Amino acid sequence: MSKTIRMLDINDDPHYEAMDTGIEFDYVGRIFDRLTTGNNRLYGLFLDDQLVSVGGYSIYADSYAMLGRLRSDRRFMGNGFSTEVVSYVLQEALNVEGIHWIGANTQEHNISAQRVLEKIGLSPYITLHGALTKATSALESGAAPWQPVIDLQRKKDWVNQLYIQTRAIFPYECYYPFPSSADLLQDQDLQQWSFYENEAKTRFLITKYDQKKHHYLHAVYPWHDITSQPGLWETIARDYRKLLQHTDDETYIWMDLTKEEARTLPADHQFELPSPWILYGKEK
């Protein structure tokens, strides 16, 4: 029985459909064509002509590669194929010109995936809840919303101070946080995202639109005092109401919260706090 690993394309969809992954609603199968084109790559480990393990990567901001889409046929588990294919994908991503950081996300309860990532040399960076809500009244104080920041240089000053200089983790998209850099936080993004400052100009907030399975107002706030800043949640709620006017499907507020931040939420909060994700990564 021969073993090979190669890049997959749309013609390999039947091979993927024949895998027994045990995942009832598998998004990889639904968007297989998108995951094999553009900034996305999928690779598969074959035994003869049978696909038994899959992994891939996506490129963000031309400099970051995120590994993922790890799937294995349950009939072939225990043979080290997952580690083998992810190690191969890692080397392929490292060979992409311009990539300077490579990472992967896995849920906290997925111990087997964490072991695979550690075997290939990735280290944990941060653990985050992708906290979701449609209601913010428990966090609102009745204060006025914050003032918008229009000036690009002011936006750049804020992200340089709080993110780029410190290499803090920035939630670039829902599910995809990265260590900050000037490559990640480019002018065109800053111009598109909405920035707000509190009256004292000691705090700022970013809101931006994202869509994965649902629509999201992605709120980014780089301090831990999320429950004690007057006007913060009024500002988020106002932008959420604006977004609702333009969406016709499930729409949520998304904020990435550490476990410590999640514990500061009031008892009557209306956030969904799914199992947190651990960000793994390494510098090239």
Tell me the pLDDT of the chain (284 aa) as tens digits: 799 999 999 999 999 999 999 888 888 988 899 999 999 999 999 999 999 999 999 999 999 999 999 999 999 988 889 999 999 999 999 999 999 999 999 999 999 889 989 999 999 999 999 999 999 999 999 999 999 999 999 999 999 999 999 999 999 999 999 999 999 999 999 999 999 999 999 999 999 999 988 999 999 999 999 999 999 999 999 999 999 999 989 999 999 999 999 999 999 999 999 999 999 999 98
As a whole number of angstroms, the distance between CA 192 and CA 194 comes to: 7
* Contact by Cβ (8 Å): 184, 63: yes
Predicted pLDDT at 58 = 96
As a whole number of angstroms, the distance between CA 276 and CA 53 comes to: 25
Predicted pLDDT at 112 = 87
Structure tokens at 222: 């780089």
pTM: 0.91
Count CB neighbours of 150 within 10 A.
10
Q: Could you give the 3-state DSSP secondary structure of residue 112?
A: helix
Choose among 123, 51, 99: nearest CA to 282: 123
Sign of CA dihedral 92, 95, 98, 103: positive
